[in-house]
Amino acid sequence: MPDWKNLDTLKSYETLKNLKGKVDIAKELSGPDAAARVQKYVVPMAADLSYSFAAKQVDDEVLQALGALAKEQQLLEKFEVLYNGERVNTGENRLVLHQLCRGQLGEDVVADGVNKRAFYKEQTSRCAAFAKRVHDGEIVNEQGEKFTMVCQIGIGGSDLGPRALYIALENWARANGRLKMEARFISNVDPDDASAVLMGLDLAHTMFIMVSKSGTTLETLTNGEFVMDALKKEGLDPAKHMIACTSETSPLAKSDAYLDAFFMDDYIGGRYSSSSVVGAAVLSLAFGGDVYQEILDGAAAEDRLAKNENLLENPDLLDALIGFYERSVEGYPATAVLPYSQALARFPAHLQQLDMESNGKSVNRFGEPLSYQTGPVIFGEPGTNGQHSFYQLLHQGTDIVPLQFIGFKNSQIGNDVVIEDSTSQQKLSANVVAQIMAFACGKKDDNANKNFAGGRPSSIIIGEKLTPAALGALLAHFENKVMFQGFIWNVNSFDQEGVQLGKTLAKKVLSGSMDGALKAYSELLEI
């Protein structure tokens, strides 16, 4: 069994701290060996992706020290006990099984008397079969007409991941004749969210999916009622228009209000749930079960890489260690995720939840306070848009923000235009390459306002094309990265106690039992 230890008890961490500031990337990437470095510091990922880290502040010595920390902190052993079914989610005393939704990395995991791999596979298949019956016109509306749209009602992990994945593939699917049903999403308890989405739907031909593991998420239940009201007003029968994705023990599981229900369990955290029915139902309805399976297969292939003991054959572990180095050795407080792909427009929002909700903790996995910093702030927007926006601060601001680029050799849709001798895709790729170098090397100028200090580290994940498999690999890469970083900091990346207090206080306000400042604020808002 691995030994769960705080970061500041590790000898290898002391070694690493002495390497702070060792690597000058401006020098490394402008010297005679610069091209060789770029060619060397790139690691294959699944689904024809690769992870390039030549513009990160590492060299062979730092990498070796990071590898030593991975060993001392037993990162791979911890992954192993996780996928073999240990209760790694200590705060909630739960197994952590999202990888098992897409493949089996170790032993059979039997919990609550059930083989969990078989259970997850069965639920994925049920989603695919249900979707096929909808597409084939076997499941129809009151008028016997086909459903043409799907709308997911969920919040947090029941929204951000599936929404980001849908947006990532929507236009690829449309261009390739794979779009079976357009998808929409309702998440916010703001009534304007549901109202606006409903205005854009053809209600009579829309299938709604209620997504809540517990079946008690206030926003989702409220929006579910909102939608049911709207359906009834149109003379439609909600029970013929709604399905549920939930746990088998939840109030939604056996309700007559739903046409069918698909199941996850307590071992799938919300922000890790895109591989479960939370993603399977909506994405199978939108694109078909075969496309969803390609996503899962891409993710499973990436998961297998995360087992590799050789750091340079394990891009998830490597990315985790470099990110940890930037946070805990260099001391950078934030990280930007910058996909050069409009299709990944909402992927940074998913990663923001994944990372900040997992590792934004001040206690270790045993509930003991920590004296070092954990997860950074994560934010990002697609390039080239960001270049004309917040990149100014990234280039010339007073803080260094490490960067995580994502780029593809080919566009998804394949429609392009040549202007000034280059395609838009070439311009897009030229820009991301240019940015990497501009951030790393900067440029001296006698006019300080035009001077670029450089020394701003970045990595880039490079893909052939944003396909379902590549998307799955990306999803798994970041899940595994965050998991390894949680192991390094010795936090529990799978609970989220920080969301509870707000819920309790909101209930107080709604029940009218507040006083003091809470009451005064409520009066300001005229609640």
Q: Is the dihedral of CA 465, 471, 473, 479 positive or negative?
A: positive
Distance set, CA 445 to CA 31, 416, 449, 450 (Å): 19, 37, 8, 6
**Catalytic site residue from 357, 361, 477, 479:** 357
Q: In what order do the strands lie in the sheet with 149-153?
A: 182-186, 149-153, 206-211, 242-247, 261-264
171 binds a copy of itself, rule: CB under 8 A: yes
189 binds a copy of itself, rule: CB under 8 A: yes
- Are the beta carbons of 430 and 424 closer than 8 angstroms? no
- Are the beta carbons of 37 and 28 closer than 8 angstroms? yes
Binding span for a copy of itself by CB under 8 A among 50-58, 128-136, 252-260, 318-326:
50-58
| Site of tokens 């705060």 | 91
> Residue 36, class by beta-carbon neighbours within 10 Å (0-12 exposed, 13-18 middle, 19+ buried)?
exposed
What is the nearest approach in angstroms of a copy of itself to the Cβ of residue 250? 17
State phi, psi for 182 to the nearest 5 degrees: -70, 140
Q: State which of positions 425-464 bind a copy of itself (CB under 8 A).
A: 425-438, 440-443, 447-453, 460, 462
- Residue 388 annotated among the catalytic residues of the structure: yes
| Interface pattern 464-503 for a copy of itself (x via CB under 8 A) | ----------------------------x--xxxxxxxxx
- Are the beta carbons of 85 and 97 closer than 8 angstroms? yes
Binding a copy of itself by CB under 8 A: which of 104, 187, 247, 276? 187
- Residue 78 annotated among the catalytic residues of the structure: no
What is the nearest approach in angstroms of a copy of itself to the Cβ of residue 132? 25
**Beta strands in 316-470, from DSSP E residues, in sequence order:** 334-340, 377-379, 403-408, 418-419, 422-423, 458-463
Q: State which of positions 329-358 bind a copy of itself (CB under 8 A).
A: 333-334, 340-343, 349, 352-353, 356-357
Query: What type of residue sits at position 348?
Result: P
DSSP alpha helix (H) spans, 139-190: 160-175
166 or 340: CB nearest a copy of itself: 340
Query: What type of residue sits at position 26?
Result: A
The site for a copy of itself, by CB under 8 A, has a size of 158
Binding a copy of itself by CB under 8 A: which of 3, 304, 367, 513? 367
294 or 355: CB nearest a copy of itself: 355
Tell me the pairing of strands 261-264 and 242-247.
parallel
| Interface pattern 60-89 for a copy of itself (x via CB under 8 A) | ------------------------------
Give the residues across from 488 on adjacent strands: none
Q: How far is CA 272 from the centre of its chain?
A: 7
**Catalytic site residue from 17, 254, 503, 507:** 503
What is the nearest approach in angstroms of a copy of itself to the Cβ of residue 374? 5
Binding a copy of itself by CB under 8 A: which of 66, 69, 160, 169? 160
50 or 308: CB nearest a copy of itself: 50
Instruction: Indicate the helix (H) or strand (E) that contains 8.
Output: none
Binding a copy of itself by CB under 8 A: which of 118, 140, 221, 311? 221
User: How far is Cα 244 from Cα 246, in angstroms, rounded to an integer?
Assistant: 6
**Catalytic site residue from 233, 368, 388, 526:** 388
Binding a copy of itself by CB under 8 A: which of 73, 89, 152, 387? 387
Residues designated as active site: 357, 388, 503
